[in-house]
Amino acid sequence: MTLPAGIHFREATSADVPTIAQCRREDPADGGVIDPRVEAYFEGRHHPQQALLARVGYIALNNDVVVGYIAGHRTNRHGCSGEVQYLFVSPSWRRRGVAAALLCLLAQWFVAQDARRVCVGVAADSPPQALPFFERLKALPIKSHWYGWEDIGIIIDLEVG
C-alpha cells in the first residue's frame, strides 16, 4: 500500500484527544463532533459493552496534524476477542489508504494480543463508505449491524488503498 508523502503514524494517548477532535471537526457531514467518551476510553475509564481493559489507539499525522485515528480493545462481545471501537479519517484524506493503514496497525496489535476474531459495528447511521470499506477488507456479517473477521491477520498483507 502506498500512502501519500508526509503521512506517519504513532500510538495515540488521551493527550491526543484535542487534536483528534480538531480532525473530527473537519467533517460537517456527520456533525463534526467527536464522541465525548474518547478521552475516557483512552484512559481506561470508559468501557464499551463487554470490553476488556486492553486497548490501543493510533493516529495518522500529516506534518504533525492529525488526519485520522483508530482505536480498539479486547472484548467478549459477539463471541469476538477484539473490537474496532473508533475509525475516522478527515474527508480530505479519504480514499488515499489512510484508513486501511490505520486498520492494519490495529490488526497487528490484535494479532500480538492473540485476538484474532475481531468485530466492528456498522450502524445505520454510519457513513455510507463504512460498509464498503470493511467489506473490501474482507469483513463478513456477524449479525445485524455487525461485521468482522474470523482472523483479523488476513488484512495485514492485503494491498488496499
**111-121 core/surface letters (b: 16 or more CB in 10 A; e: else):** bebebbbbbbb
The domain in which residue 88 lies consists of: 7-155
| pTM, entire model | 0.93
Structural domain count of the chain? 1
* Helix or strand holding residue 18 (H, E): helix 17-25
98 assigned to some structural domain: yes
CA atoms of 62 and 154, how far apart (whole Å): 27
4-57 per-position pLDDT tens digit = 778 999 999 999 999 999 998 888 776 778 888 999 999 999 999 999 999 999
Give the residue carrying C-alpha cell 477488507.
Answer: 137
- Bridge partners of residue 59, in order along the sequence: 10, 69
pLDDT band at residue 1 under the 50/70/90 scheme: low
72: domain CATH number is 3.40.630.30
2 assigned to some structural domain: no
For strand 118-121 and strand 82-89, is the pairing parallel, antiparallel, or unpaired?
parallel
122 assigned to some structural domain: yes
127-155 per-position pLDDT tens digit = 888 999 999 999 999 999 999 999 999 99
For strand 65-75 and strand 146-149, is the pairing parallel, antiparallel, or unpaired?
unpaired
* Number of alpha carbons in the 13 Å side-chain half-sphere of residue 85: 29
